[in-house]
Amino acid sequence: MLDAQARVLYVGKARNLRARVSNYARPGHSPRIERMIRETASMMFLTTRTETEALLLEQNLIKQLKPKYNVLLRDDKSFPNILVAKDHPFAQIKKHRGAKKEKGTYFGPFASAGAVNRTLNQLQKAFLLRNCTDAVFDSRTRPCLLYQIKRCSGPCVGLISEADYAAAVKDAERFLSGRSTRVQEELAEQMMAASEAMEFERAAALRDRIRALTTVQGAQGINPRGVAEADVVALHLENGQACVQVFFIRANQNWGNRDFYPRVGEDVSAAEVMEAFLGQFYDNKEPPRQLILSDAIENADLMTEALSEKAGRKVELLVPQRGEKAELVSGALRNARESLARRMSESATQAKLLRGLAEAFDLDGPPKRIEVYDNSHIQGTNAVGGMIVAGPEGLMKNQYRKFNIRGDDLTPGDDFGMMKEVLTRRFTRLLKEDPDRDKGLWPDLLLIDGGAGQVSAVQEIMVAHGVEDIPMVGVAKGIDRDHGKEEFHRIGQRPFALKRNDPVLYFIQRLRDEAHRFAIGTHRAKRAKAVSATPLDDIPGVGAARKRALLAHFGSAKAVSRADLADLTAVEGVSEGLAQKIYDFFHES
């Protein structure tokens, strides 16, 4: 369904298209559907070969087009896994996120990177597997610090045989596959044997490994006995908002949970939200063997067929009423209810702060989009600008932007000039991407880190672009550059301050500090990249792999610049043509 400007309002599917469209012409719809019908100016129809294809196409279009009246899952990040990489005689254990292209065994998904890191930390204590890269492994001549603190068995320098290391890898895989009891029993037997043989140091090491495994199991919380592999999906709806909790059960272990807040209307049903969530959530994720749901969906047969086709095996959708699975759903529902209550409380606090901000700065209403700008550099080097965005739901991190300062005519350290460049580029792009201001990209308030000078510089940019209706405020440190003594500068008005205990002041300080953190982090990343830069980066055809090969062969970029053609062609991956390019680059004169 499209509006008068051809913007997509709604995407839906139907087994019987005539009945579905005719139904919209009848009275008795909910307020949300009535608004949608009023705004609809035209309709577009797509046909598919099967109903399953229609279901998949519907969810893909919703994710791409983000229609106003559809249930939309806004958080669509991938989840981390643990990878036991098998492309080396001594397997590496590490965190992995994204497509599973690397050779090895994958365990997951885990709910967060923190859960993976904690598990990896304990697994290193228990099985002493390496986590270093192959390049580091091949270059070692003596054990690293991890070996000294008993987190690695030192395979890089031959302190463990390949067979013994492979046995440790197998034990780790058995543990991650859920066969942890047998692993602990074997370690306990080895500990007792070492103790009887008076090898107390070895016995103590085995005791520490058993303790590490117990820590992993304790951190995994409730471990269901009758559910080997499933996602528990529970939905709670309240006051037009929704929270979906997903618990990841793998190898009879709880590997954590995540909460999601899909965009819903006030009158959507639980079945509609659950179906939309499943379709969008598993669009780029492999579904487990079972999905244990709190609410049934209307097209369960189609969803089962679509997910089974995606996974290449049977996927079950269950809505349990009793037993262990029902208890898992009950626990997930409780988490969903509590998470939504916390979020609604935070939203109410945020709304109150935005109202206070509007009153403090004489705005027409609470701002829906606040943009905060800051610069970072060291005496003008590696200069960057940062923009953070906040709104009714808090910080909008997917809207953050960084700006590499490119002005060749800028005096090093010229903060005014840097701010001018950042705002010029920002509003030039805004005018190009959203000239009608109907996409929600335009700010309602600009906060600038600085005083009257910075505000005047920004004002010049705004006038030059014909944008004079956006309020802007400069946040200066004030007397002694002390927190709580900030002064606020606006065009044509005297500076003023807020009371030290005013919540709005704390809110502005948090926004200013977040902009500062983001700008400094971007600057440090740029500086670190510059430190590792070499002339090889400027040679066409020399990418990261060939750069590593050249540096490994010659030892430094300077040695590469002195090499002749015969030496360059001896490097693996460097053809005669590329060798000529590299030679010419360093010998142009």
HEC-encoded secondary structure of 310-356: HHCCCCEEECCCCCHHHHHHHHHHHHHHHHHHHHHHHHHHHHHHHHH
Note the pLDDT of residue 216.
57
- Domains 370-530 and 535-586 equal at CATH topology level: no
Q: Which two tokens stand for residue 344?
A: 């609604």
> Chunked in runs of 10, what are the mean pLDDT values of the chain (589 residues)?
91 88 86 90 90 88 89 80 90 89 87 83 84 87 89 91 90 76 71 82 74 59 74 92 91 84 86 92 89 93 92 93 91 92 88 92 92 81 87 89 78 75 89 85 90 85 86 81 75 86 90 91 80 73 81 81 85 85 79
Q: Which two tokens stand for residue 469?
A: 């209706």
Quote the crossing angle between the two packed helices 162-176 and 180-196, to the nearest 10°. 130
Note the pLDDT of residue 444.
92
The amino acid that residue 384 corresponds to is V
Q: Which of 112, 91, 65 is CA-nearest to residue 155? A: 91
Q: Residue 472 in contact with residue 445, Cβ under 8 Å? A: yes
Beta bridge partners of 84: 93, 105
Q: Which of 385, 390, 354 is CA-nearest to residue 369? A: 390
Residue 260 — φ and ψ, nearest 5°?
A: -130, 150
d(CA 157, CA 143): 7
Note the pLDDT of residue 587.
79
Q: Which of 236, 322, 315, 241 is CA-nearest to residue 274? A: 236
Note the pLDDT of residue 126.
79
Note the pLDDT of residue 51.
87
Residue 338 — φ and ψ, nearest 5°?
A: -70, -40
Note the pLDDT of residue 215.
63
Q: Which CATH superfamily is domain 370-530 in?
A: UvrC, RNAse H endonuclease domain (3.30.420.340)
Note the pLDDT of residue 180.
57
Note the pLDDT of residue 221.
46
Hey, which CATH number is domain 229-341, 3.30.70, 3.30.420, 1.10.238, 2.60.40?
3.30.420
Q: 455-459: long-range contacts (C-beta < 8 A, 24 or more apart)?
A: 455/489, 455/490, 455/491, 456/491, 457/416, 457/419, 457/420, 458/419, 458/420, 458/423, 459/491
Domain extents in the chain: 17-65, 81-219, 229-341, 370-530, 535-586
Task: Report the SS3 class of residue 474.
Answer: strand
Beta bridge partners of 475: 449, 488
Q: Please identify, in words, the CATH class of the domain defined by 535-586.
A: mainly alpha
Cis peptide before 320 (omega within 30 of 0): no
d(CA 408, CA 422): 14
Q: Determine if the pTM surpasses 0.75.
A: no
pLDDT by residue (tens digit) across 489-524?
Answer: 988 888 888 888 889 999 999 999 999 999 898 888
Q: Residue 432 in contact with residue 410, Cβ under 8 Å? A: no
pLDDT by residue (tens digit) across 85-98?
Answer: 988 999 999 999 88
Q: Which residue's entry shows tokens 């002041």?
A: 505
Portion of the chain with pLDDT greater than 90, in percent: 29
